[in-house]
């Protein structure tokens, strides 16, 4: 089930939140501690105002809530609100023999016994959960994984506590997100979402349902993902997930914040992850764990796609193909013969190698000239310093591969003095914003533009093929481009 945490300060606002999210949710949690004092007295009426099961919660400040009164007043408020027709009540694990508990039991309202840890994982989580469930209540453990190793401990709940059928276990914060999305793989009854996150790492119910189809995950669902640091902003789930549903493939693709690639491979075995994308800073560190790599990974020295092949992990680089595709026919027709590549980082390596392998002459310019020199030596290209950009105004193609111009630095231009001419093709790898400062200037000069977002989508389509063996559904492509416009 998907549970919406209601964050309104009035009863009416919470009814509206319920109605707005109705199609995505199965249950709601009414957080009395977030209500204005004047609305709290009417809270018992709430379950009658919405046609969905309601959990009653009054979270105290020490557990991340806003209830500021005494413990005695909190429990007495809870007892009186339990006059309402609630399906569940959340009572913290350390609250002993309260009137609220007695009333809930007498009315047949199920008790959720919750425990929160905003700093880490308690040492004995498996024991804690089984102890609570022995009382017949539903254990809820919300903890904070601080690494992939912590996330592994959390996912082990599934095998360690198979006998505890009813439980809710979730990881808060950025490392915990996979445990929220894969709540069914954790064996949790439901996952919590909200319009305005009230706990670290909560996402919206719409995302949970429409982007991830989290409530459809079952034993046969294939898991894919993207690893990086940072990674939660990644556009890739919006490419891969709709593609999977478009070909009726029971699979999910989600972001994993990864501090250690080594630990991630342990998690990947544990969850039987079928493949994953790799982004900064792991494109090189992933290499020692791969049993097989393609020619372009070897040349570029970085891998952005890993798939599970028989008994080994295989690494590819789809940036290479996503980049070169719109240029191949023009290079073959000799309309593009020379290129200026700005930058000598990871993306530039894929760009330069693909241009060179297709027979294009390349000059690399970079802030750090030594780095440009090294890449030029490897690829039999030329190099120069960034300041000399204007010496190369005659080239057929300009490719911008640095992060200059990317939000929030969108007013910057890596080659401000460079004069474009209308015969040039100008290719920008930065994809936020779509029109960088440099591209705006190239557009004014009448150049043909190629956008970073289109390259990102093309490389994502290649990843999709590597993951599934199928072409990306044509009818979905248009909506991908629209989404970013
Ligand atoms: P990277 O390996 O860190 O390389 C960064 C490059 O930017 C280096 O050449 C660096 O020069 C240069 N640079 C950074 N700040 C600069 C500044 N203030 N002035 C001048 N040069 C500067 O990063 P990357 O992986 O290559 O990624 C670079 C960009 O490409 C990012 O914006 C990324 O989002 C984008 N990208 C897009 C796609 C796509 O599909 N559209 C794919 C991959 C990457 P130094 O060597 O002098 O430090």
pLDDT surpassing 90 at residue 478: no
Q: Which of 286, 352, 402, 456 is the best mutation target for the ligand 1 pocket, counting ligand atoms within 8 Å of the beta carbon and taking the most?
A: 402
Atom of ligand 1 nearest to the CA of 454: 41
- Cα–ligand 1 centroid distance for 366 (angstroms): 10
pLDDT digits (tens, 9 = 90+) for 236-288: 999 999 999 999 999 999 999 999 999 999 999 999 999 999 999 999 999 99
Which own/partner contact pairs does 130-138 have at CB distance under 8 Å and 24+ positions apart?
130/161, 130/163, 130/164, 132/93, 133/164, 133/166, 133/167, 137/110, 137/111, 137/112, 137/113, 138/88, 138/110, 138/111, 138/112, 138/113, 138/166, 138/167, 138/168, 138/189
Write down the residue that tokens 């297709």 correspond to: 358
Torsion angles phi and psi, residue 343, rounded to 5: 110, 155
> b/e for 288-314, b at 16 or more Cβ within 10 A?
ebbeebbebbebbbbbbbbbbeeeebb
C-alpha distance across the termini of the chain, in Å: 33
Mean pLDDT of 204-208: 97
Given pLDDT bands bounded at 50, 70 and 90, which one contains residue 97? confident
Mean pLDDT of 82-104: 96
Given pLDDT bands bounded at 50, 70 and 90, which one contains residue 201? confident
Nearest-CA residue for atom 38 of ligand 1: 429
Could you tell me which of 134, 121, 212, 198 has the C-alpha nearest to residue 167?
Answer: 134
Mean pLDDT of 292-319: 96
Mean pLDDT of 400-415: 96
Mean pLDDT of the chain: 96
pLDDT surpassing 50 at residue 415: yes
Q: Which of 347, 348, 353, 449 is the best mutation target for the ligand 1 pocket, counting ligand atoms within 8 Å of the beta carbon and taking the most?
A: 347
Higher-pLDDT residue of 479, 328: 328
Pocket of ligand 1 (CB under 6 A): 280, 319, 322, 343-348, 366-368, 371, 401-404, 406, 414, 429-431, 452, 455-456, 459
Nearest-CA residue for atom 21 of ligand 1: 367
- Cα–ligand 1 centroid distance for 78 (angstroms): 55
pLDDT surpassing 70 at residue 484: no
Q: Give catalytic residue positions.
A: 283
pLDDT surpassing 70 at residue 417: yes
User: Quick one: tokens of 182?
Assistant: 């894969």
User: Strands 305-309 and 312-316, how do they pair?
Assistant: antiparallel
Write down the residue that tokens 């393609």 correspond to: 294
Cβ neighbours for 52, distance < 8 A, ≥ 6 positions apart: 18, 22, 25, 26, 27, 28
Atom of ligand 1 nearest to the CA of 367: 47
The three-state secondary structure class of 353 is helix
Nearest-CA residue for atom 6 of ligand 1: 402
Atom of ligand 1 nearest to the CA of 452: 41
Nearest-CA residue for atom 44 of ligand 1: 347
At residue 483, the pLDDT reads: 59
Could you tell me which of 402, 400, 405 has the C-alpha nearest to residue 420?
Answer: 400
Nearest-CA residue for atom 27 of ligand 1: 347
∠ CA 451-299-392 to the nearest 5 degrees? Answer: 50
Nearest-CA residue for atom 8 of ligand 1: 345
Q: What is the largest CA-CA distance in the chain?
A: 84
Atom of ligand 1 nearest to the CA of 349: 26
- Cα–ligand 1 centroid distance for 402 (angstroms): 3
- Cα–ligand 1 centroid distance for 396 (angstroms): 22
The three-state secondary structure class of 213 is coil
- Cα–ligand 1 centroid distance for 316 (angstroms): 20
Q: Which of 343, 375, 427 is the best mutation target for the ligand 1 pocket, counting ligand atoms within 8 Å of the beta carbon and taking the most?
A: 343
CA atoms within 13 A on the CB side of 483: 15
Where helices occur in 311-451 by DSSP H, the ranges are 318-324, 328-332, 346-357, 369-379, 437-444
Nearest-CA residue for atom 20 of ligand 1: 367
- Cα–ligand 1 centroid distance for 265 (angstroms): 27
Say how far apart CA 274 and CA 192 lie, in whole Å.
26
pLDDT digits (tens, 9 = 90+) for 346-355: 999 999 999 9
- Contact indicator for 216, 184 with CB cutoff of 8 Å: no
The model carries a pTM of 0.94
Atom of ligand 1 nearest to the CA of 322: 40
At residue 174, the pLDDT reads: 96
Say how far apart CA 279 and CA 78 lie, in whole Å.
47
Burial of residue 85 (number of CB atoms within 10 Å: 0-12, 13-18, 19+): middle
Torsion angles phi and psi, residue 202, rounded to 5: -65, 140
pLDDT digits (tens, 9 = 90+) for 143-159: 999 999 999 999 998 88
Walk me through the domains of the chain, giving residue ranges and CATH numbers: 2-217 (3.20.20.70), 226-317 (3.40.50.10860), 321-450 (3.40.50.720)
Atom of ligand 1 nearest to the CA of 406: 32
At residue 485, the pLDDT reads: 45
Q: Which of 429, 456, 461 is the best mutation target for the ligand 1 pocket, counting ligand atoms within 8 Å of the beta carbon and taking the most?
A: 429
């Amino acid at each position: 089930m998907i549970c919406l945490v209601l964050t309104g300060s009035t009863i009416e606002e919470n009814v509206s939140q319920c109605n707005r999210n109705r199609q995505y949710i199965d249950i709601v949690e009414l957080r009395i501690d977030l209500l204005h004092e004047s609305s709290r007295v009417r809270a018992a009426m709430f379950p009658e105002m919405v046609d969905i099961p309601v959990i009653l919660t009054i979270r105290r400040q020490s557990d991340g809530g806003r209830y500021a009164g005494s413990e005695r007043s909190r429990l007495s408020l809870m007892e009186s609100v339990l006059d309402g027709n609630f399906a569940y009540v959340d009572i913290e694990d350390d609250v002993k023999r309260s009137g609220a508990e007695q009333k809930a039991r007498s009315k047949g309202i199920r008790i959720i016994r919750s425990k929160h840890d905003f700093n880490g994982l308690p040492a004995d989580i498996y024991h804690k959960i089984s102890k609570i469930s022995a009382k017949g209540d539903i254990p809820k453990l919300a903890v904070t994984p601080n690494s992939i190793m912590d996330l592994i401990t959390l996912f082990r709940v599934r095998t360690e506590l198979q006998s505890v059928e009813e439980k809710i276990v979730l990881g808060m914060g950025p490392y915990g997100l996979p445990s929220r999305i894969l709540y069914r793989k954790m064996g949790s009854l439901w996952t919590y979402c909200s319009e305005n996150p009230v706990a670290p790492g909560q996402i919206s119910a719409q995302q949970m349902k429409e982007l991830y189809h989290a409530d459809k995950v079952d034993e046969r669902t294939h898991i894919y993902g993207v690893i990086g640091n940072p990674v939660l902003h990644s556009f890739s789930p919006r490419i891969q997930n709709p593609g999977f549903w478009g070909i009726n493939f029971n699979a999910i693709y989600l972001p994993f914040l990864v501090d250690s690639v080594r630990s991630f491979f342990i998690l990947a075995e544990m969850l039987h992850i079928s493949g994953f994308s790799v982004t900064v800073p792991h494109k090189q560190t992933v290499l020692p764990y791969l049993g097989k790599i393609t020619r372009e990974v070897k040349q570029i020295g970085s891998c952005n796609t890993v798939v599970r092949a028989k008994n080994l992990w295989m690494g590819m680089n789809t940036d290479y193909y996503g980049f070169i595709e719109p240029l191949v026919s023009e290079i073959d027709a000799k309309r593009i013969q020379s290129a200026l590549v700005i930058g000598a980082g990871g993306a530039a390596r894929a760009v330069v190698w693909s241009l060179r392998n297709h027979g294009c002459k390349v000059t690399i310019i970079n802030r750090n000239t030594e780095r440009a020199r090294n890449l030029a030596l490897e690829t039999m290209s030329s190099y120069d310093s960034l300041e000399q950009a204007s010496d190369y105004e005659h080239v057929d193609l300009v490719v911008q591969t640095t992060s200059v111009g990317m939000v929030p630095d969108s007013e910057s231009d890596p080659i401000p003095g460079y004069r474009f001419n209308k015969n040039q093709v100008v290719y920008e790898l930065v994809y936020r914003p779509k029109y960088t400062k440099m591209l705006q200037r190239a557009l004014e000069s009448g150049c043909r533009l190629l956008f970073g977002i289109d390259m990102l989508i093309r490389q994502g389509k290649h990843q999709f093929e590597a993951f599934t063996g199928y072409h990306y559904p044509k009818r979905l492509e248009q909506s991908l481009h629209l989404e970013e416009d």
